[in-house]
Amino acid sequence: MTTSKITKERVEKYLAEGKRFDGRKLEEFRDLKIETGISENAEGSAKVTLGNTEVIVGIKMNVGTPYPDSADSGNMMVTAELLPLSSPRYESGPPKFPAIELGRVLDRAIRESKFIDLKKLCIVEGEKVWTVFIDVYSLNDDGNLLDAAGIGIVAALKTAKIPKYDSEKEKVLFGDWTDENVPLSTEVPLSLTAHKIGEYLILDPTKEEEDLCETRVTIGSAKGSISSMQKGNLESLKIEEMEKAIDLVDNAYGGIFKKIEEQLK
pTM comes to 0.95
Q: Kindly tell me the sign of the dihedral angle through the C-alpha atoms of 160, 165, 171, 177.
A: negative
For 110-160, write each residue's pLDDT tens digit. 999 999 999 999 999 999 999 999 999 999 999 999 999 999 999 999 999
**Mind listing the pLDDT tens digit for each residue in 24-82?**
999 999 999 999 999 999 999 999 999 999 999 999 999 999 999 999 999 999 999 99
Cα–Cα distance, 230 to 245 (Å, whole number) = 12
Q: What is the DSSP letter of 116?
A: B
Q: Give 180-236 pLDDT, tens digit per residue.
A: 999 999 999 999 999 999 999 999 999 999 999 999 999 999 877 999 999 998 899
Count of positions (residues) in the chain:
265
pLDDT of residue 184: 97
Beta strands (DSSP E) in 98-170 are 122-124, 128-140, 161-166
Alpha-carbon gap, residue 197 to 211, rounded angstroms: 9
Structural domains present in the chain: 10-263 (3.30.230.70)
CA distances from 177 to 64, 136, 158 (A): 18, 22, 15
Q: Report CA Rg, the chain.
A: 19
